[in-house]
Amino acid sequence: MASCSRPSKELKLDNTIGLGPNWVELPRDLTSKILHMLSAVEIVINARQVCPMWRNICKDHLMWRTIEMIGGRKSPHDLEKICMFALDHGRNHVEEINIEYFASDELIKHIADRTGNLRRMRISKCLDISDKVMSDAAKKFSLLEELELSFNDLSKDSLEAIGENCPRLKILKFNRTYKGINCMSYKGFKCDKEALAIAKTMPKLQHLQLWGNKLTNEGLVAILDGCPLLESLDLRFCYNIVLRGNLEKRCYENIKDLRHPNEYIDENDDDDDFVYEFYCECRVRGSKGMKGKKITRMDYYKFH
């Protein structure tokens, strides 16, 4: 009996395998839709190596309208080289770029030289970008509508160049890793240069995020005056801001979505684990040796 049933099982297995999809024989438009769901790294490293048809599809400019390369801090691949490959293929069809960790001056130059219709760009956690290169690149980003330059070492020089050359800019995120010192007795470093650059050059701004900025009430007033279309304003960890009286009233009356300096970043926010808070000794009483220490989210809840 056992010898009779075995061929039957093998035949059934063969039939099942034969019914499986042959990915290479799928219609071109369907294959294209599937490949669109892959990341830039997956397309460059794997998909375009499968067969001639897939390789041709991957050469299509429309495949590269969005270039997203995030979460690759420990990637074994040369991410900058892969991104340049994608830019070379997408060229003026690239509308959105989302990059973390690996962008350098060379890549920013490449983005500026290869793209002509960029609408949205996010360059985050990239410390090897200079103000000079970003300022020069901004001259070629005239269609840019959304921009994030968070956790970089860029300054008001880049902001001024962006504001002067990107007249369509509606969304700006310019966050800092360092949140500031949350202590009422601490007279922290104050600087309104970035706030004034935004106020002076970005009148059409509708959404602004400035985690950990050193602006003061004066800088905030300048932003409110210079950006009359502002609908949302995120000032979390901007501890030089004191929202009271007429300024507080003006903010809450004119800004639909206002995030207060003392509001904390939670798990629903992007990059919530990338920022940290800094305390002086009088704030963390009873915590021996905590002065000047980076505080994790768990430490924050422990001492509050």
Q: Which is more confident, 246 or 274?
A: 246
Name the range with the highest mean pLDDT among 10-19, 78-87, 105-114, 237-246: 105-114
CATH number at residue 160: 3.80.10.10
Q: Is the pLDDT reported for residue 74 higher than 70?
A: yes
Q: Is the residue at 63 inside a domain?
A: no
Structurally, the chain folds into a number of domains equal to: 1
**Burial (Cβ within 10 Å: 0-12, 13-18, ≥19) of residue 277:** buried
Other C-beta atoms closer than 10 Å to the C-beta of 301 total 10
Q: Is the residue at 288 inside a domain?
A: no
Q: Which is more confident, 277 or 139?
A: 139
Q: Is the pLDDT reported for residue 232 higher than 80?
A: yes
Q: Is the residue at 207 inside a domain?
A: yes
Distances (CA, A) of 252 to 78, 224, 230: 47, 12, 12
Distance CA(38)–CA(121), nearest Å, equals: 19
Query: In which band, very low, low, confident or very high, does the pLDDT at 23 lie, cut at 50, 70 and 90?
Result: low
What would the mean pLDDT of 125-150 be, rounded to a whole number?
96
Q: Is the residue at 111 inside a domain?
A: yes
What would the mean pLDDT of 247-263 be, rounded to a whole number?
93
Residue numbers of the domain that contains 237: 94-279
Distance CA(265)–CA(125), nearest Å, equals: 17
Q: Which is more confident, 207 or 264?
A: 207
Find the range with the poorest average confidence among 23-32, 177-186, 242-251: 177-186
What would the mean pLDDT of 41-61 be, rounded to a whole number?
73
Kindly report the CA angle at 274 between 299 and 97, in degrees rounded to 5? Answer: 165
Question: What is the number of residues in the chain?
Answer: 304
Residues 6+ apart with CB under 8 A from 38: 47
* pLDDT for position 53: 73
What would the mean pLDDT of 86-94 be, rounded to a whole number?
91
Q: Is the residue at 4 inside a domain?
A: no
Query: In which band, very low, low, confident or very high, does the pLDDT at 296 lie, cut at 50, 70 and 90?
Result: very low
Of the candidates 279, 271, 288, which has an alpha carbon nearest to the alpha carbon of residue 180? Answer: 279
Q: How does pLDDT run across 191-223, given as a tens digit for each residue?
A: 999 999 999 999 999 999 999 899 999 999 999
* pLDDT for position 239: 87
Of the candidates 255, 188, 196, which has an alpha carbon nearest to the alpha carbon of residue 221? Answer: 196
Distance CA(149)–CA(171), nearest Å, equals: 11
What would the mean pLDDT of 91-95 be, rounded to a whole number?
93
**Coil, strand or helix at 211:** coil
Supply 180's token pair: 């500031």
Q: Is the residue at 28 inside a domain?
A: no
Q: Which is more confident, 247 or 302?
A: 247
* pLDDT for position 180: 55
Specify the long-range contacts of residues 5-12, CB closer than 8 Å, at least 24 apart: none
- Of all residues in the chain, what percent carry a pLDDT higher than 70? 72
Q: Is the residue at 9 inside a domain?
A: no
Find the range with the poorest average confidence among 172-176, 184-188, 260-264: 184-188
Q: Is the residue at 86 inside a domain?
A: no
